[in-house]
């Protein structure tokens, strides 16, 4: 496979601008990086196999193979709740009309904060706090990485089609690289590759080996493991560089990333064909991680619970829905349990079968009675008025030959038959 999107490409040789003779491992954002001849040579071959890559001139500010240079010092200790920094790269042979064939997206705690695609061909911030804390030199360096990754992934797509004996068609390479800081302050990292929706190869940083998920990945496994420097660099990125950048991003985006929005929970049930389907919906919560499950007699029913996943709302919050099928007579044995960072303790929600609502019926009867009374009263008034008018016509017809107009001018008596 090709060199990883969003990770260091080489051991990371660098030199500070103020001390050109000083060489070391990793990167130095403050001092800037310059590509060494050794690392530049390593860029000449894709990690997926033979295949030339475009030559790139050394540039200051950020080593082209490392979008995450070494930080000068950690920013704070491990948090009390988990946090994550993840990069997803997707390369497609047939993305569809008008869509980019290569997309590279970064997430902090499930929130997109950087984005690159083969159409715009520039790395751009997706969060205001990211734009405010990174200078133009950073974005130029990231853009250079993205443009190089485009060409690497194009080579990888061709190589993998050859390995799988494919010609034409729609094919996809996906990469996931990142790290987590867990509740207890420990960390974990992952470096995974998939092809056409199936696992291809993954890195075990503890054993410093790669796991080939399919026979076609064995060649890549051997190639990567034959280079101890590359393996050490992978491990260092996941255990050190990634974690340090996660802490920095958490510091920059603290106001937004650490906000808390509690979920609104609604529970309902629906009977059909002798089965009661219980649904529990949590809406409007932030951050994204949440645990929603159905309990029966206090025991979690994870295997029987169906979840629709966690989806975003237009306001930046999230929603999720979980359901479970039960016997109608057991409705009172179930509770929906919701655990979220915004809640001091998990909440439990039960469904209560609704009783027949008599209010609409009573209101309808009252309205009908009132309507009948009104209609009857109006009819009586009209009848009395009509009778009075008839008597008046009979009394006045001999005098003026018709009904007397209130203003004194005679009107023809066309509404009364004269005998």
Domain stop point among 218, 234, 257: 257
pLDDT confidence of residue 213: 97
Residues 203, 342 within the same domain: no
Q: Lowest mean pLDDT: which of 172-181, 234-243, 378-387?
A: 378-387
Q: Does any domain span residue 302?
A: yes
Query: Quick one: average pLDDT of 321-335?
Result: 96
Whether residue 64 lies inside any domain: the answer is no
With a cut of 60, say whether residue 77 has pLDDT above it: no
Within-domain flag for 42: no
pLDDT at residue 8, rounded to an integer: 35
Q: What is the CATH number of the domain that holds 147?
A: 3.30.500.10
Q: Are residues 110 and 198 in the same domain?
A: yes
Threshold 0.75, pTM exceeds: no
Tell me: pLDDT of 216 over 90: yes
Same domain assignment for residues 229 and 203: yes
Instruction: Point out the least confidently predicted range of 32-36, 180-184, 216-220, 231-235.
Output: 32-36
- How far is residue 298 from each of residues 280, 295, 318, 350, measured CA to CA in Å? 16, 5, 26, 12
pLDDT at 389 over 60: no
Do 154 and 248 have their domain in common?
A: yes
Q: Where a domain ends, among 215, 239, 257?
A: 257
Same domain, 202 and 315: no
Least confident of 21-35, 175-189, 237-251, 391-405: 21-35
Task: Assign residue 341 the CATH number of its domain.
Answer: 2.60.40.10
Percent of the chain with pLDDT over 90: 58
Number of domains in the chain: 3
pLDDT for residue 396 is more than 70: no
d(CA 89, CA 237): 17
**Cis-peptide, bond into residue 287, ω within 30° of zero:** yes
Mean pLDDT across 306-333: 94
Q: Classify 12 in phi/psi space as left (phi over 0), alpha (psi -120 to 50) or beta.
A: left
pLDDT, residue 173, reads 97
Decide if pLDDT at 22 tops 60: no
pLDDT at 3: 35
CA–CA separation, 254 vs 287, rounded Å?
12
Instruction: Give the per-residue pLDDT at 419.
Output: 33
15 pLDDT above the threshold of 70: no
Question: 391 lies in a domain?
Answer: yes
CA distance 106 to 126: 9
- For residue 240, being part of any structural domain is answered with yes
Say yes or no: 139 and 286 in one domain. no
Q: What is the pLDDT of residues 255-290, one digit of tens each?
A: 988 899 999 999 999 999 999 999 999 999 998 889
**59 touches 35 (CB < 8 A):** yes
Q: What's the pLDDT tens digit per position in 143-169?
A: 999 999 999 999 999 999 999 999 889
Position 400 in a domain: yes
Reference 8, options 155, 130, 177; nearest CA is 177
Q: Would 319 be classed as within a structural domain?
A: yes
Stronger pLDDT, 278 or 81, i.e. the higher one: 278
| pLDDT class of 316 with cuts at 50, 70, 90 | confident
Predicted confidence band of residue 357 (pLDDT cuts 50, 70, 90): low
Q: Based on the domain organization, do 163 and 216 belong to the same domain?
A: yes
- What is the model's pLDDT at position 171? 97
* pLDDT, position 367: 59
Q: Output the average pLDDT for the chain.
A: 76
Q: What is the DSSP string of 311-378?
A: EE-TTS-EEEEEEEEE-GGGGGGEEEEEEETTSSS-EEE---PPPP--HHHHHHHHHHHHHHHHHHHH
Q: Are residues 253 and 268 in the same domain?
A: no
Q: What pLDDT is attached to residue 362?
A: 52
How much is the pLDDT for 354? 77
Task: Measure the CA angle with vertex 185, ends 114 and 74; round to 5°.
Answer: 60
% of the chain exceeding 70 in pLDDT? 65
Among residues 303, 324, 349, the one where a domain terminates is 349
**Same domain as 158, residue 94:** yes
In a domain, 313, yes or no: yes
**Residue 181 CB partners (closer than 8 Å, separation 6+):** 78, 79, 82, 83, 84, 187, 243, 246, 247
Q: Is residue 132 domain-shared with residue 281, that is, in the same domain?
A: no
Range of the domain at 127: 77-257
CB distance 241 to 248 below 8 Å: no
Task: Answer yes or no: do 172 and 278 share one domain.
Answer: no
Higher-confidence position of 363 and 157: 157
The answer to whether the beta carbons of residues 125 and 114 sit under 8 Å apart is yes
Average pLDDT over residues 346-364: 73
pLDDT of residue 252: 96
Do 208 and 324 fall into the same domain?
no
């Amino acid at each position: 496979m090709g060199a990883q999107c969003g990770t260091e490409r080489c051991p990371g040789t660098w030199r500070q601008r103020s001390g050109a003779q000083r060489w070391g491992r990793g990167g130095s954002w403050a001092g800037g990086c310059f590509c060494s001849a050794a690392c530049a040579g390593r860029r000449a071959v894709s990690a997926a196999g033979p295949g030339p890559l475009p030559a790139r001139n050394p540039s200051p500010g950020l080593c082209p193979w490392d979008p995450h240079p070494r930080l000068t010092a950690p920013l704070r200790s491990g948090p009390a709740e988990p946090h994550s920094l993840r990069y997803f790269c997707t390369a497609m042979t047939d993305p569809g009309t008008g869509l980019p064939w290569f997309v590279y997206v970064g997430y902090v705690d499930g929130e997109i904060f950087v984005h690159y695609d083969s159409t715009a061909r520039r790395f751009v911030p997706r969060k205001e706090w990211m734009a405010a804390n990174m200078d133009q030199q950073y974005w130029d360096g990231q853009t250079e990485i993205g443009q190089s990754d485009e060409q690497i992934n194009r080579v990888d797509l061709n190589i993998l089609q050859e390995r799988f004996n494919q010609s034409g068609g729609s094919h996809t390479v996906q990469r996931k690289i990142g790290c987590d800081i867990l509740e207890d302050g420990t960390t974990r990292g992952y470096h995974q590759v998939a092809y056409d929706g199936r696992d291809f190869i993954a890195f075990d940083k503890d054993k410093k080996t790669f796991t080939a998920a399919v026979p076609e990945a064995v060649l890549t496994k051997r190639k990567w493991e034959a280079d101890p420097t590359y393996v050490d660099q992978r491990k260092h990125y996941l255990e050190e560089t990634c974690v340090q950048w996660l802490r920095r991003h958490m510091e920059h985006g603290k106001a937004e990333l650490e906000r808390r929005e509690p979920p609104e929970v609604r529970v309902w049930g629906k009977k059909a064909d002798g089965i009661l389907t219980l649904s529990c919906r949590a809406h409007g919560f932030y951050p994204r991680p949440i645990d929603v499950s159905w309990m029966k007699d206090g025991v979690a029913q994870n295997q029987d619970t169906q979840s629709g996943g966690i989806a975003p709302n237009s306001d930046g919050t999230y929603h999720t829905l979980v359901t479970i099928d039960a016997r109608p007579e057991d409705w009172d044995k179930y509770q929906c349990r919701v655990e979220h960072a915004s809640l001091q303790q998990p909440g439990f929600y039960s469904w209560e079968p609704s009783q027949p609502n008599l209010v609409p019926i009573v209101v309808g009867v009252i309205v009908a009675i009132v309507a009948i009374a009104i209609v009857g009263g109006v009819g009586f008034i009209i009848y009395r008025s009509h009778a009075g008018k008839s008597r008046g016509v009979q009394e006045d017809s001999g005098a003026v030959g018709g009904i007397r107009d209130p203003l004194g001018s005679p009107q023809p008596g066309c509404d009364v038959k004269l005998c």
